Amino acid sequence: MLTYLWLIPLAPLAGFVLVGGLGMAGKLREPWVQRLAVLASAASFVLAVFVIADFAGGVDDYRALAEAQPSKYEVSAPGEPARFEVTPLRWMPVGDITLRGWDGDGVRQVAFSVDWTFAIDTLTAIMLLVVSGIGTLIHLYSIGYMAGEERQFRFFAYLNLFMAMMLTLVLAGNLAVLFVGWEGVGLCSYLLIGYYYRQVFDKESGLTCADAGRKAFLTNRIGDFGFLLGMLLLLLTFGTWDFSELATAINGSSAFWYGSLLLTGIGVLLFFGATGKSAQVPLYVWLPDAMAGPTPVSALIHAATMVTAGVYMLARMSALYWHSPGAMFVVAVIGCLTALLAATMGMAQYDIKKVLAYSTVSQLGFMMLGAGVGAFVAAIFHLVTHAFFKACLFLGSGSVIARCGHTNDMRLYGGLRRWMPVTYWTFLVSTLAIAGLFPLSGFMSKDEILARSLFSFRGSPVLWAFGTLAAGMTSFYMFRAVYMTFHGENRSPEHVREQLRESPTVMTSVLIILALGAASIGLLGVPAGVSRLFGVGDINWFEKVLHPVVAARGVVAAPAEGHGGEHVASAGETHHAGDAGVAEHAAETPVPPGGYLVEGAQHPSWSAEAGLFVLAFAVFFTGLGLARWAYAGPQPRAEALAPRLRFVRRLLHRKWFVDELYDRLVIRPYYALSDFFSAVDQRIVDGAVNMTAATTELSGQVLKLFGTGVVRHYALWFLAGAVLLVWMMMR
Amino acid sequence: MDLFLVVATIVKVALVVVVVISAVPVLTWVERRGSAFMQLRLGPNRVGPLGLLQPLADGIKFMFKEDIVPPFVYRPFYVAAPAIAFVAALLAFAVIPFGGTLMIDGREIPLVILDLDVGVLFLLAASGMGVFGIILAGWASNNKYSMLGGLRSSAQMISYELSLGLALVSVLIYAGTLRPTEIVEQQIGGTWNVFPLFVGFVILLVSAFAETNRLPFDLPEAETELVAGYHTEYSSMKFSMFFMAEYINMITGSALVTTLFLGGYALPFQRSVFEGWLGLEGNLLAVLQLASFTLKVGFFMWLYVWVRWTLPRFRFDQLMRLGWKILIPLALVHVVWASLLVMWGVPA
Amino acid sequence: MVGDPGPYLLLATILFVIGAFGVISRRGAITILMSIELMLNSANLALVAVSRFLPAAGQGAGIPDGQVIGFLVLAIAAAEVAVGLAIVIAMFRLRESVDVDLARLLRW
Amino acid sequence: MTALAAVAIGVVSLQWVVLLVIAAVAIAGALVVVLHRSPVVGAMGLVTNLLCVAGIYVLLNAYFFAALQVIIYAGAVVVLITFVIMLLNLRPEARGGPGLVPIGLAVLLGLALIVVLGRPLLEFSAPTAEAVAPEFGSVRQVGEALFTEYFYPFLAVSLALLSAMVGAVLLAKRHLED
């Protein structure tokens, strides 16, 4: 079944072609558009499930096939974590390229050709499930949301195209294919954000949806520029883009590569691409404006799948990042900073989708923080859980918006609990999950990240402190949103209030599924520390499955005091050490000869674990309490506080004036520069051309004086010339 | 410098000049008597026996007539013109050989003033200069008739100079050299050029007649039309110089014809009869050669006079037509004829 | 026998300069033509003078080339005068005078 | 007279004196051509100049060329010029030359030319000054060179002459009819 791996992205692509083509020709009526789109998405989900089932059974029986057709199939070595590659097409046979010899092997010619390879390993499997699963659910949901829209085939076609591109990205076997997917999703996000291209999205700034789409696309492109540079540098050093070959090359001479400036540079460049795609600090400005798109789009693209591409890329390139602590440190810092900054902005927004958008940016910051401190598994697990509850939140807000006359402004909501109970309960469950209540998925993944950021060798208490603060803010703004929307009296105008009622079942059923997922998914990856608190052994299935793929190898694999080598180190490193409370940062363990203590975390004492557990609860309830104090109740006290906090509120509401900053720092100088160059062009280049014309004309004027028509004058000049000639000759 | 050579040359020059100048009065006498004889009248017989002293009388008359120099003339050229004409005519004699070689106290003296390698060309140059005399005369006297007369005569001389030159060219081709003495020597050895190149002889003769502005080509002086042509304003001595220049031109022309075509100073059948049979050589032979040369020139002089008083005057366009459309093409053909002869190896 | 062409060439130069001066300073077409003849003549003089003193093939000095070229120059000069005079006559017909300054048709 | 005395003393050879005299006359002739207002006088100046140059050719042993010069130049060309002068009955030029600037410039240029050419020419010395080659100046030598070494130029010149004749006839004739 594995050999049909490359069919998975093909299904939605076919869907796109069919829906788009027929829709354009006007042949498809509304129901068939929806059925076809959902069918395509579901097909990819079913195919994915079958493929993953076969993959779970191990890849050994495909080894014979791999030997038979080496160019088409490739299977990972027995010891290695399971990985199967299929190359249906030799895409770009480039021929010989010269390597700069930065990898110590000297300048040499290497045959290089880009093939269209798809690969599957546990990381891809997980992402496949997330993308195709949630994608299909959102397809279902958007049937209800888009009901009645004319020409909606365009929406479904783009959605299918997005699915195809995202699956290509996830299944990519080398950087080239990944980049195709990377650009594809960027394109689809542009198309879908700008779906309502005529509507004005943001009353204050006059930004139309089309502008928002352009903004998203441009910011992504800037990020992609960095990504492309990173790719090319990689090519020039290693001569290949294939992930497995890269990993083997780096791990092979890991002593040489550990800490090398080149790898750090490449890592930072790739991460710069990721910041564009996953909306991290420098390039996150497009995500809040991306809310201009229809809500299912926001849910699918700007919450669950596309924005996580950055994190997936980091996990995929884990071998490279393990060997460049500098790059990881950058990732961690940027991630933590984004989490904090976005959380603050989220608190002051009135548009429910903007609140969720900032929360997405903040959660992505958490994922980057996790990846930055080496907890790739925790980052991916948070990605998965976040996909569920954020999708549920977005779809919930979508149904609220649909019912409340398509306004996003929470000030016009209030007390919707009575009219929309299902939306309310699913929204509440997801909010509890995201805020990090114990049994729910949010707690499991977010707290694992926070724990790792404290105890891992790459982490530091500062990161942990800011992370926890951000977590607190998260619960505050989420409950603020809940209270403003569902509690208190209804503030929406009369005509809206009459027809307030629950969304159709097709939407609510999806909400319920997602809410259940958000609640239960956490149990798949219960962090070791937590499970130990309850005296239960390590039941972290997620860690067990995913760790080998993203584990560090070579020099970086740190055998912490005798615990065995790079084989699967069980997550539950119990370690009885010192007193309760925050385990003080263990002295930097001396670096063993040849080894760098990086990967393993220090083994937090039981009391430390307990402390963290309690702290998580405390943070959750403070956020809840504050929100309840400010916003619950008939007359929200927040308005009373407003005058005194006027400056802070305005600052946060205006998103720290970042957009204005960019405008002044980047766009204005750019215009000034172009004005300058146009002036230069006008005056110098055109000037030069006109100059030559002017000189010719001038010389014409001068020579005219000689043409007196009088023969004797001609004779005179004739003689003068003769004399000159003679003089020159005789000299 | 070889003193002997200088003295010999001076003597020769003096000899030639005296002979030629003295020949002019004789010629005038011959002309007057000849024309009279032809017109069945007596001619001058009062002054001296048979009017022999008549030319002397004319000479004296010319000498003592009042030399009127009209005020409106351009004096320098007015005065220079007759001199140029006279000198140019005389100059031609420098290259004409009139005799063999004299042996005087052991030194040979060739009876030619200047034995130039380009002798014939020198002759052409000298006759060319003659034209200036006439032109200047016409222009200097500053009146329409003399100007037109001068123009006409110079136009005539220029066109006939062409045919003269071509005729000369044919002889030079035939003879293969420009040195007059060599041409004569060839004719002594072989036949006279007049026989193989008879047409050239005729052309040269006619052109020579035209060159001297003698009847029938004497349009410029035609009394009826242009008063007296270019020398209307001249009187006494200057007029006589023109008059003498004309006669000298006649002598030069005939000398040229005799040298090129009638073997110059060559005695008829010189090799066979005189040197062979009579065994003459040295000075005696030279004197005889001189005599033969003079006789031939005399014959042509008589021919001039004879033609003048028999043929009617040409109209100017007839004159020009004869010159340009008949003589020149004929001369060109003759040049071809001469080169053919050379090609066939006819000359000795 | 003056040994080398120096003085002759100097004379040729002087004649040439006088000719050139004539061409420039005079207004009469005929005079200009004559000055041109003067210049050509001086060129001939120089040619012959130099060729006279160049070493000959055999012994002695003097090669015919100068004279041959001189001859050609003569021919060309003659042709030039012929055409020149024709032009002068044509001009005279138009302008009733041979003053060169009147021939200003080329000036716009 | 001083010249004759110099010869007598034997300081300067007869040749040298004759050359000087002829040169002087030639330059005088040239100046007459250039300066005199009446064209006919100019023509006569030209004739004297040409004859003097012919004389110099004789001094240079180039007899054939001297004869040629006299026949073609003096005999035909100048006669033609004089002929045209008379035909057009040209008045002497009015006074008032072309103004100072051209004359000044011309004089200047002339002097410059003399200076430029003068110095090297005087220094120019032929390798040997010994007697003239036997055949030099003879018709045979020039004729032979003309028809062998310079045959093509000879043809070219004949063509030039032909075209000149045709041109002259065309230019002049057309106007003579009216």
DSSP assignment of A476-524: HHHHHHHHHHHSS---S-HHHHHT--PPPHHHHHHHHHHHHHHHHGGGG
Contacts of D109 (CB under 8 A, 6+ apart): A716, A719, A720, A723, C20, C24
Query: What is the model's pLDDT at position B225?
Result: 55
What does the alpha-carbon distance between residue D37 and residue D18 come to, in Å, rounded to a whole number?
30
**Contact of C56 with C62, CB cutoff 8 Å:** yes
pLDDT at B329: 92
What is the per-residue pLDDT across D144-166, written as a single tens digit (0 to 9) for each?
888 888 899 999 999 999 999 99
Answer whether D106 touches A (CB < 8 Å). yes
Q: Please, which pLDDT band fits residue D140 given cuts at 50, 70 and 90?
A: confident
The token duo for B292 is: 């033969």
Contact, D154 vs C72, CB < 8 A?
yes
The SS3 call for residue C55 is strand
| Contact residues on chain D for A714, CB-CB shorter than 8 A | none
The CA radius of gyration of chain A, in Å to the nearest whole number, is 31
Nearest to A730 among D98, D105, D120 (CB): D120
- What are the chain B neighbours of D139 within 8 Å (beta carbons)? 117-118, 121, 178
Domains present along chain D, CATH in parentheses: 2-90+134-172 (1.20.120.1200)
pLDDT of residue A165: 92
Helix, coil or strand: residue A110: strand
Q: Is residue B26 part of a domain?
A: no
Q: How many Å apart are CA C32 and CA A712, to the nearest integer? A: 9
DSSP A440: S
Task: Indicate the angle between helix axes A461-486 and A606-631, nearest 10 degrees.
Answer: 30
Instruction: Give backbone dihedrals phi and psi of A108, rounded to 5 degrees, phi first.
Output: -150, 160
Do A720 and D117 lie within an 8 Å CB cutoff?
no
Domain boundaries of chain C, sorted by first residue: 6-102
Pairing mode, strands A200-202 and A108-121: unpaired
For residues A462-473, b (16+ Cβ closer than 10 Å) or e, as one string? Answer: ebbebbbbbbbb
Percent of chain D beyond pLDDT 90?
25
Amino acid at B21: I
Give the tokens for residue B77. Answer: 């050229």
Q: List the one residue out of B157, B204, B181, B197 whose CA is nearest residue B300.
A: B204
Q: Which one of C64, C86, C93 has the shortest CB-CB distance to D168?
A: C86
Instruction: Look at C32 and A711 and tell me if their CB atoms are within 8 Å.
Output: yes
B251 within a domain of the structure (yes/no):
yes
B199 domain-assigned: yes
Nearest chain B alpha carbon to D65: B118
Which pTM does this prediction carry? 0.58
How many domains is chain B built from?
A: 1
- Selected from 1.10.287.3510, 3.20.20.70, 1.10.10.10, 3.40.50.1820, the CATH number assigned to the domain covering C6-102 reads 1.10.287.3510
Contact at CB, A726 and D113, closer than 8 angstroms:
yes
How many CB pairs below 8 A link B and D? 65
A716, A717, A725, A728: which to substitute to probe chain D, counting the most D Cβ within 10 Å? Answer: A716
Would you call A723 and D105 a contact, using CB atoms and an 8 Å cutoff?
no
Q: In what order do the strands lie in the sheet containing A73-75?
A: A73-75, A83-99, A108-121
Q: How far apart are CA D151 and CA D138, in angstroms?
A: 18
Residues within 8 A of D (CB atoms), A 108-137 only: none
Are D109 and A723 within 8 A, CB to CB?
yes
Q: For the segment A377-424, what is each residue's pLDDT rounded down to a tens digit?
A: 888 889 888 888 888 898 888 888 888 877 788 888 878 888 888 888
Q: What angle do CA B180, C73, B171 make, to 5 degrees?
A: 20
Q: What is the pLDDT of residue D122?
A: 63
Contact A347, A656 (CB under 8 A): no
Band of pLDDT at residue D7, cut at 50, 70 and 90: low
> What angle in degrees, to the nearest 10, is found between the helix axes of A376-403 and A441-455?
140
Asked if D106 and A719 come within 8 Å (Cβ–Cβ), the reply is: yes
Instruction: Tell me if the bond preceding C5 is cis, omega within 30° of 0.
Output: no
Question: Distance between terminal CA atoms of chain B?
Answer: 37
Q: How far apart are CA A272 and CA A227, in angstroms?
A: 7
Q: Do residues B166 and B304 make contact, with C-beta atoms less than 8 angstroms apart?
A: no
Six-digit token pair at A63?
A: 């080894």
Residue type, B145: Y
Residue B217 resides in a domain = yes
Across the interface, of B124, B132, B136, the residue whose CB is closest to D71 is B124
- For residue range C82-101, what is the model confidence (pLDDT) as tens digits? 999 998 888 888 888 888 77
With CA atoms as reference, report the closest residue to A173 among A250, A86, A81, A247. A86
Share of chain B above pLDDT 70, in %: 95
Q: Residues, chain B, total?
A: 348
CB atoms closer than 10 angstroms to residue A558: 22
| DSSP class per residue in A611-644 | HHHHHHHHHHHHHHHHHHHHH-SSS-HHHHHTTT
How much of chain C exceeds pLDDT 90, in percent? Answer: 31
Residues of B whose CB is below 8 A from D86: 135, 138-139, 147, 150-151
Taking the alpha carbons at both ends of chain D, their separation in whole angstroms is 58
Cβ of A309: how many Cβ atoms within 10 Å? Answer: 25
pLDDT value at residue A583: 34
Q: Note the ipTM here.
A: 0.66
Point out the residues of chain A with pLDDT beneath 70: 555, 557-603, 633-636, 638-639, 642
CA distance C70 to A663: 88
Q: Give me the residue from D75, D83, D86 closest to B128, CB to CB.
A: D75
Of the residues A705, A710, A719, A729, the best mutation for testing chain D's interface (the one with the most D CB atoms within 10 Å of its CB) is A719
For residue B309, the enclosing domain spans 67-343
C and B touch per CB criterion (3+ pairs under 8 A):
no
Across the interface, do B128 and D67 touch by the CB < 8 Å criterion?
no
Q: Do C106 and A709 touch (CB under 8 A)?
A: yes
What Cα–Cα distance (Å) separates residue C92 from each residue in A381, A715, D94?
113, 21, 16
Residue B214 counted as domain residue? yes
Q: Which of D38, D56, D86, D88 to mutate to test the interface with C (most CBs of C within 10 A)?
A: D88
Interface with chain C: mutation pick from D122, D136, D178, highest number of C CBs within 10 Å: D136
- D68 neighbors B121 (Cβ within 8 angstroms): yes
How big is the CA angle at B176 (ends D73 and D145), to the nearest 5 degrees? 60
Distance CA D42, CA D34 (A): 7
Candidates C23, C32, C107; nearest CB to A709: C107
**Cross-chain residue pair C27–D172, CB shorter than 8 Å:** no
| Identity of the amino acid at A192 | L
Which pLDDT value is given to residue A646? 75
User: Which segments of chain B have a pLDDT < 50?
Assistant: none
Kindly state whether residue B8 falls inside one of the protein's structural domains.
no
SS3 B17: helix
pLDDT number for residue A450? 86
* DSSP one-letter string for A184-243: HHHHHHHHHHGGGTTSEEETTTTEEHHHHHHHHHHHHHHHHHHHHHHHHHHHHHHS--BH
| Å between A705 CA and nearest CA of chain C | 11
Q: What pLDDT score does B183 carry?
A: 87
Q: What are the CB-based long-range contacts (under 8 Å, 24+) for D125-131?
A: D125/C3, D125/C4, D125/C6, D126/C3, D126/C4, D126/C5, D126/C53, D126/C54, D126/C55, D126/C61, D127/C55, D128/C55, D128/C61, D129/C1, D129/C3, D129/C4, D129/C53, D129/C61, D130/C60, D130/C61, D131/C1, D131/C60, D131/C61
**pLDDT the model gives residue B320:** 82
**Cα(A617)–Cα(A150) distance, rounded to whole angstroms?**
48
CB within 8 Å: D116 and A716: no
Stretch (H or E) spanning A357:
helix A352-372
Helices A441-455 & A352-372 angle (0-180, nearest 10): 40
Residues from chain C that touch A714, judged by Cβ atoms under 8 A, are: none
